């Protein structure tokens, strides 16, 4: 991976295959999604403390740092995430902390480096995903993120590819829909943007049959758009 933007979809897949992985890292997943014109928060890989600082300056503070390793799925639980870093000195310390913690706790883990991203401005958390059903193929999912998806499982499904009407129904079908429409003075989110994002994800799935599962979680929904803040792409077993 490099920062020149010359990463191709195929190079991402090839690299994962060569390393015997079916799971793309967060940085790879986001790069992949960006190719399909899905709005993803700018996230760069830093392989040194100095790089982390220069990337942070480029993106603008505050930033978040996340460990990038194909062997670590639950980055926060592993101690590999630092949020809300406001200055270069904080980034420097956070970088060292993260690398040190992970190296101690998971000496076997392959480390790609640390992902640096600008802290996303808060929005309503939603989840968009895809998995494959043995009888019907790709199934797309939409729901409210965070606790709503984990505890209440307030999600809707449609078999892909999605028609416009499917996307509209998916968003409106969840019980938490009123939360998207603005609740107790909260601003309503741009629902049509979310529908459009669902359609783009549906296209992405159609164009990339090698993708087996997909989690965009969370996606921050705003009154003027939406942004994928974290993403996981899982590939079919290589041939």
Partner 1 sequence: MTGSQPLERLFRPSSIAIVGASNYTQKGGGFLLNGLVTNGFKGTLYPVNPRESEILGLRSYSTVTDIPGKIDLAIIAVSARLVPQVLSECGQKGIRFAVVHSAGFAEVGTQGEALEKEMLDIAQHSGIRFVGPNCMGLCCTEVGLNTIRPSSRLLDGSGCVAFLGQSGWVSENFIGMGNDRGLRFSKVVSVGNQADLSIEDFLEYLGADAQTRVIGCYIEGVKQGRKFMQLVRQISPTKPIIVWKAGRTEAGIRAASSHTASLAGNSNIFDVALSQSGAVIAHNLEDLIDLAIGFTCPVLPDGNRLGVVVEAGGGGVATADTHEALGLEMPVLSKASQKELTNILDDSVVALPNLLNPVDIVWPLNWATGWATLKCLRVVLKEVDAALAIDYAPLNERLAVKIAALRDETGKPIIIIPGDSIEQKRGMSRLVRKGVPSFSIPERGLKVLAAMVRYANGRRYS
The CB-of-123 to partner 1 minimum distance in angstroms stands at 19
| Total count of residues recorded for the chain | 239
By C-beta, is 84 or 137 nearer to partner 1? 137
CB 216 within 8 A of CB 226: no
What are the helix and strand counts (H, E) for the chain? 8, 10
By C-beta, is 11 or 131 nearer to partner 1? 131
Nearest-angstrom CA–CA distance, 98 and 109:
13
CB 219 within 8 A of CB 232: no
The CB-of-146 to partner 1 minimum distance in angstroms stands at 12
By C-beta, is 111 or 155 nearer to partner 1? 155
By C-beta, is 34 or 158 nearer to partner 1? 158
The CB-of-30 to partner 1 minimum distance in angstroms stands at 15
By C-beta, is 63 or 149 nearer to partner 1? 149
Binding site for partner 1 (CB under 8 A): 23, 127, 129-137, 139, 141, 143, 149, 153, 155, 157-159, 165-166, 212-215, 217, 232, 234
164's enclosing H/E stretch is helix 164-173
CB 141 within 8 A of CB 148: no
Q: How far is C-alpha 137 from the chain's CA centre?
A: 22
The CB-of-229 to partner 1 minimum distance in angstroms stands at 14
The CB-of-220 to partner 1 minimum distance in angstroms stands at 17
By C-beta, is 82 or 200 nearer to partner 1? 200
92: helix, strand or coil: helix
By C-beta, is 84 or 238 nearer to partner 1? 238
Phi/psi for 176 (5° steps) reads -80, 10
CB 33 within 8 A of CB 216: yes
Nearest-angstrom CA–CA distance, 231 and 8:
18
Q: How far is C-alpha 65 from the chain's CA centre?
A: 14
The CB-of-211 to partner 1 minimum distance in angstroms stands at 11
The CB-of-237 to partner 1 minimum distance in angstroms stands at 11
């Amino acid at each position: 991976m490099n920062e020149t933007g010359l990463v191709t979809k195929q190079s991402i897949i090839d690299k994962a295959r060569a390393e015997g992985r079916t799971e793309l890292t967060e940085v790879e997943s986001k790069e992949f999604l960006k190719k399909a014109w899905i709005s993803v928060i700018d996230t760069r890989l830093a392989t040194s403390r100095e790089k982390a600082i220069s990337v942070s300056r480029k993106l603008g503070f505050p930033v978040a740092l996340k460990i990038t390793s194909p062997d670590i799925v639950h980055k926060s639980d592993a101690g590999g995430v630092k949020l809300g870093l406001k200055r270069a000195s904080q980034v420097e310390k956070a970088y060292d902390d993260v690398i040190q913690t992970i190296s101690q706790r998971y000496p076997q883990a392959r480390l790609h480096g640390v992902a640096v991203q600008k802290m996303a401005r808060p929005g309503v958390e939603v989840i968009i995903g895809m998995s494959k059903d043995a009888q019907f193929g790709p199934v797309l999912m939409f729901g409210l993120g965070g606790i709503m998806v984990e505890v209440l499982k307030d999600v809707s499904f449609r078999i892909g590819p999605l028609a416009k009407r499917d996307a509209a129904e998916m968003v409106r079908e969840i019980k938490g829909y009123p939360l998207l429409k603005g609740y107790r003075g909260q601003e309503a989110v741009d629902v049509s943007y979310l529908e459009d994002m669902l359609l783009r994800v549906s296209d992405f799935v159609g164009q990339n049959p090698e993708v087996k599962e997909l989690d965009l979680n969370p996606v921050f929904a705003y009154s003027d758009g939406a942004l994928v803040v974290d993403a996981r792409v899982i590939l079919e077993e290589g041939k």
